Amino acid sequence: MTSGPGTTSGPVFLGDPDGLGDPDYFGRATPPRGHVAGLAFTDAEEAFRLEARQWLAAHSPGRLPSMDTPEGARAHRAWERELASARFSVVAWPPEYGGRDASVVDWVLFEEEYYAAGAPTRISQNGISLLAPILFTHGTAEQRDRLLPAMADGTTVWAQAWSEPEAGSDLAALRSRAARDDARGGWVLNGQKTWSSRAPFADAAFGLFRTDASAARHRGLTYFLFPLDAPGVTVRPIPQLDGDPGFAEIFLDDVFVPDRDVLGAVGEGWRVAMSTAGNERGLSLRAPGRFLAAADRLLELWHDRGADPALRDRVADAWIGAQAYRFYTWDAVDAADRGHSTAEGSVNKLFWSELDVALHETALDVLGPEQEVAGAWTDDYLFALAGPIYAGTNEIQRTIVAERVLGLPRGDDRRARG
């Protein structure tokens, strides 16, 4: 991939709301799928994109039953196995773990094709997008060899076990604890986790536990991995508005975890967890393909329902937002290649989560009274509403942006000077 002046030959949408009444307007103003203004892809990258597009066209089952149901969870696991058999499950991973050793450019291209094909949501997302990057950075070779292949093909589905009744966005307030058990060579976990995504149908979980009660809030924490069928673990599903249990409470009563399932150093869990949170807020969880595909579907819906001029600007804003996020992502890819990583992941999270809600609210308004009937747009809207909450609420993210990106003083500093 290269970037810079002179690398684009296609048109760029610069914003002309008056033209939106023409059904062919976006067809003329939008570059062909795969084209990114200002970027040029290598022949190998374009060949990979085409391979992915053709395979997905031939194999994608489309929208599967909700993975928050037993039937849907089984269907999604089967899809993970099919992806893995073609080495499309985790394209950026090394071959020994089921990947293709693809570049981050290839990964983003694959994500664009994946969502454009309408392929299913990934039930393995917690594992492959959040836990795996931490295993590559902080895990041992034994942990990677043992955990990654089963993660890649959907054999092991992972749940997040971070939040607690008194520790959500303020994760450092957690009370769950781990006590050393030298006789058995491990730790004994006790406590409660809540809002654990994928937990009702998952196999294992990852989360933080306090191993040193005398240490400061952000210290004395350790990152543990544990099976959800271990003795002493109770998973209590939490029904959502639609009745399906997308989350669960996890109760741990004297749960033994061996030393081999400690991720990173003892007492260094906060640093490891923040690496995971960075992945959730940034590039690895919300690639632009998801929003590009949704914006294209919104545009098609708007035209099919008569292109109501009262909604024209909102449709345009959603489409422009998806394209802007795409450009942001390619800039982030370039930054990652240069080893650059900052709190700007919080800026990213703010943008995509609010774009997601606005885009789906617009779709529901296009549908009119039909929005009251359950369907794909309604389901996706309900999911979008969670975006400003998980991975640290957007209120917390704005504080991070203010202090760590913009360099503004902390609130208590302002009061002290007042």
Q: pLDDT at position 2, please?
A: 55
- Least Cα distance to 208 among 147, 140, 144, 276 occurs for 276
Q: What pLDDT is stored for residue 18 in this prediction? A: 42
Residue 49's pLDDT is what? 95
- pLDDT score at 36: 52
Confidence at residue 24, expressed as pLDDT on a 0 to 100 scale? 47
Using one digit for the tens of pLDDT, what is the confidence trace for 330-346? Answer: 877 776 666 655 556 77
**Token match 């990677």: residue?**
144
pLDDT < 50: residue spans in the chain = 4-34, 279-285, 414-418
Two structure tokens written together for 30: 């939008």
Name every residue whose Cβ is closer than 8 Å to that of residue 292 and which is 6 or more positions away in sequence: 112, 115, 116, 322, 323, 326
State the pLDDT at residue 274. 77
Neighbouring CB atoms inside 10 A of 320's CB total 15
Distance CA 213, CA 175 (A): 9
Looking at the annotation, which residues are catalytic?
Answer: 280
Q: Name every residue whose Cβ is closer than 8 Å to that of residue 388 and which is 6 or more positions away in sequence.
A: 353, 354, 357, 394
Give the pLDDT confidence score for residue 338 in this predicted structure.
63
Tokens of 92: 């950026």
What's residue 417's pLDDT?
43
